[in-house]
């Protein structure tokens, strides 16, 4: 399967939210960017978009 092209973007997160994402990143070994992508895909699926 071909990897999708990734486009760099910036988002502004509250410090506490970023801290939680970094903690999960350390626990799972996944980059914060992957955690954000996964969460966004789940949200879009839930909203049927």
Q: Range of 29's domain? A: 15-46
Is 31 among the domain residues? Answer: yes
pLDDT of residue 1: 78
Q: How confident is the model at residue 34, as a pLDDT?
A: 96
Q: Is the residue at 8 inside a domain?
A: no
Measured over all CA atoms, what is the biggest interatomic distance in the chain, rounded to whole angstroms?
36
Q: Please report, for residues 16, 28, 34, 39, 46, the alpha-carbon distance to residue 8 in angstroms, rounded to integers and kept in the order given.
A: 23, 22, 13, 17, 24
**4 part of a folded domain:** no
DSSP 8-state assignment for residue 6 = P
What is the tally of structural domains in the chain? Answer: 1
Q: Return the structure tokens found at 28.
A: 């799972």
User: Per the domain annotation, does 35 fall within a domain?
Assistant: yes
Give pLDDT, residue 14: 98
- Which token pair is 47? 């909203």
pLDDT in tens, 1-49: 788 899 999 999 999 999 999 999 999 999 999 999 999 999 999 999 8
User: What pLDDT score was predicted for residue 33?
Assistant: 96
Say what the pLDDT of residue 3 is: 87
């Amino acid at each position: 399967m071909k990897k999708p092209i990734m486009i760099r973007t910036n988002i502004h997160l509250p410090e506490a939210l970023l801290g939680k994402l970094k903690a999960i990143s350390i626990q799972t070994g996944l980059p914060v960017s992957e955690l954000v992508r996964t969460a966004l895909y789940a949200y879009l699926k839930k909203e049927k978009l």
